[in-house]
Amino acid sequence: MPESPSVTSGTGVVPDDSEAGSGAPAALAGDAALSGNGASGSAGAAGPVAVDRETLRLALVVGGLVLAVLLGFGLGRMNAPAGAARPAGATAGVATGGSDGGTHAHSPGTGAHTHDGATVTQGGGDGATGLSITSAGYTLVPSTELVAGRAGELRFQIRDDQRRAVTRFAVVHDKPMHVIMVRRDLSGYRHLHPTMAADGTWSVPITAPDAGPWRMYADFTAVADDGRQVAVVLGADLTASGAYRPRPLPAAATSATVDGFTAGYAGTPEVGKSVPLRFRVTGADGAAAALEPYLGAYGHLVALREGDLGYLHVHPEPVRDGDDVTFWLTAPGPGSYRMFLDFQVGGVVRTAEFTLTVP
């Protein structure tokens, strides 16, 4: 992040004016002496004395005005609110943190999502990200044509503010790039991990099972030329050719079944408040499933807001609470959300889907 511009305190300017001000009493004394001389002197000497007195008075008035302006400007700059002089392009709501126990300010929706010391760039104004194709100086450039039911390839680049393909990325949660694909009606969820070619082009095989509009999210941490790590989520719309028949959002529920496993959670998300959601996965026999670490955690939770498809990617607490996996979630606003929980058992990753309504 660029350094904030230095604030000019007035040092080196105010002292000069202060010296002029401290000389004012002597000038006034001289003026009085001249007045006395004019009163007692000859008429021929009175004219020059009067001119000098008016000149001094004018100089004192002008000097006082200049001093007041300079002092007011200097004091105003020194007492400016923190952040008021933020440079152009600086991002509000930026948090830093790391896995070494450093402070990590959780913006709405981010929960326990850390980026190993990277500058975390939020978007959307309320904690939801992925609403823009460009953010923090990076742009998502997809080059993909999807055909429903046909195997294809998702291809894209991340470019910087000079339109150069970015090729340096930090590994976060075991991968340098996480891609989420979801259909506009919040069905057809995919969590992908593409590979990058030498020219910065990312690619991953994909089959779009349903026609219609899709949204892709690129969730990554770029390494800038100066070594800074900037975590960004970018989003772009794609279309799978064919007739689009949107499905209604399933009813809100706190449990879901997938491949014989039942995932349920306890907790009620609130707008603007970080709330724990405790998930538990059980097998067909009702016993807690033997969860395995997946991408460095015992689960990954993505929530997408119905309508604008605002994106929240939340990672769990590193230590499990018994058989539970705890995520801290802050709802950025009221509405309906679709949550997708990725978990791994027996080497197989499964996704449980939930509809959540936030009043």
Q: What is the pLDDT of residues 53-103, one digit of tens each?
A: 555 455 554 455 444 434 443 433 333 333 333 222 332 222 222 332 222
- pLDDT block averages, 10 residues each, the chain of length 359: 34 33 35 34 40 53 47 38 30 28 32 39 62 96 92 96 97 96 95 97 93 96 95 96 92 97 96 95 96 94 95 90 94 94 97 96
DSSP assigned state of 251: P
Residue 266: its H or E element: strand 261-266
DSSP 3-state assignment of 46? helix
At residue 52, the pLDDT reads: 55
Q: What's the Cα-to-Cα distance from 227 to each of 64, 97, 221, 231, rounded to whole Å?
A: 51, 16, 12, 13
Give the phi and the psi of residue 330 in degrees, each rounded to 5.
Answer: -115, 115
Q: Alpha carbon 254 to chain centroid distance? A: 29
At residue 242, the pLDDT reads: 87
Q: What gap in Å lies between CA 326 and CA 331, rounded to an integer?
A: 16
At residue 145, the pLDDT reads: 87
Give the position of tokens 């603007």: 272
pLDDT, tens only, 139-170: 999 998 899 999 999 999 999 999 999 999 99
The reported pTM is 0.67
Q: What gap in Å lies between CA 180 and CA 184, rounded to an integer?
A: 12
Q: What gap in Å lies between CA 131 and CA 307, rounded to an integer?
A: 11
CA nearest to 161, candidates 177, 139, 140, 142: 139
Task: Name residue 212's amino acid.
Answer: G
**How crowded is the C-beta side of 168, counted as CA atoms within 13 Å?**
10
Q: What gap in Å lies between CA 49 and CA 30, rounded to an integer?
A: 11
Q: What gap in Å lies between CA 262 and CA 289, rounded to an integer?
A: 9
Q: Which ranges of the chain does DSSP label H, i.e. alpha helix?
A: 14-22, 24-40, 43-78
Q: Alpha carbon 1 to chain centroid distance? A: 12
At residue 220, the pLDDT reads: 98
CA nearest to 270, candidates 328, 317, 320, 324: 328
Burial class (CB in 10 A: 0-12, 13-18, 19+), 91: middle
Q: What gap in Å lies between CA 227 and CA 260, rounded to an integer?
A: 46
If you count them, how many residues does the chain have?
359
CA nearest to 324, candidates 275, 281, 285: 281
At residue 113, the pLDDT reads: 39
